[in-house]
Amino acid sequence: MLQNDTRESNLDFQSLKTNGIKVNYLYVCERKLWLFDKGIQMESKSDRVLMGKILQDDAYQHLQKREVLIDNLINIDIVNDEEIREVKYSNRMPSADRIQILYYLYYLKQIGIEKKGIINYPRQRRREEIVLTPEAEQEVIKALIRVKEIISMEKPPPLIKKSYCSKCAYYEFCWG
C-alpha cells in the first residue's frame, strides 16, 4: 500500500514505474491521463501529434542513439554519453515537458545511470537544460504516486475546462 511519505527509503519504485507520457499527461490533464491509461487513445487522429512526430523524426538527425526504449516503458528521444534529450513541438506545456524528462532522469538514476537532460524546442530554436536535484526527485515521486492514484480510479476525473482543451486530441471525446 502506498503511503504519503515520499522518502526514497520507503518508496517502492517498481510499483510506481510507468510510461513517460503518463507522467506528462498528469501535468496536462488528469482526465486525459486516465483515458489514455484505459486504452482510449485519440492521438493517432491528431494533426498536432502527427506534426510533432514529423518534427521529432527530422530534427537532430546528426545525433546518434535516437529513440531509445528502456524496459519497454520509457522512450527517450535522444541519448548520448552525457545527456538525454526530449524533442518537443512547442513550449506551451513546459511543466509537463519538464516533469517527463525529470522522470526519465529519475528512472535512469534508479538503474544506476546519471545524466543531465535537455528539452529541445526546434521550432522556437530554444533548449532548456534540466537537472535532477533532490527537490526535483521529490516532485517526480509525488507525480508517480498521483499517476498511480488516477489510473486506479474507477471513473475518470471530472471535466475541467482549460484554455487548451480545444487543441487537445481528446476534445471531441470530452466536450463533443
pLDDT in tens, 68-98: 899 999 999 989 889 999 999 889 999 999 9
94-123 pLDDT, tens per residue? Answer: 999 999 999 999 999 999 999 999 999 988
Instruction: Tell the residue number behind the cell numbers 516532485, with chain if given.
Output: 139
Strand partners, 145: none
Burial (0-12, 13-18, 19+ Cβ within 10 Å), 104: buried
Q: DSSP characters for 93-134?
A: -HHHHHHHHHHHHHHHHHTT---EEEEEEGGGTEEEEE---H
16-74 pLDDT, tens per residue? Answer: 999 999 999 999 999 999 999 999 887 655 555 555 555 555 665 666 557 789 999 99
Instruction: Tell the residue number behind the cell numbers 510510461, with chain if given.
Output: 19
Query: The pTM is what?
Result: 0.84
Q: How far is the C-alpha of 143 from the C-alpha of 13, rounded, in Å?
A: 12
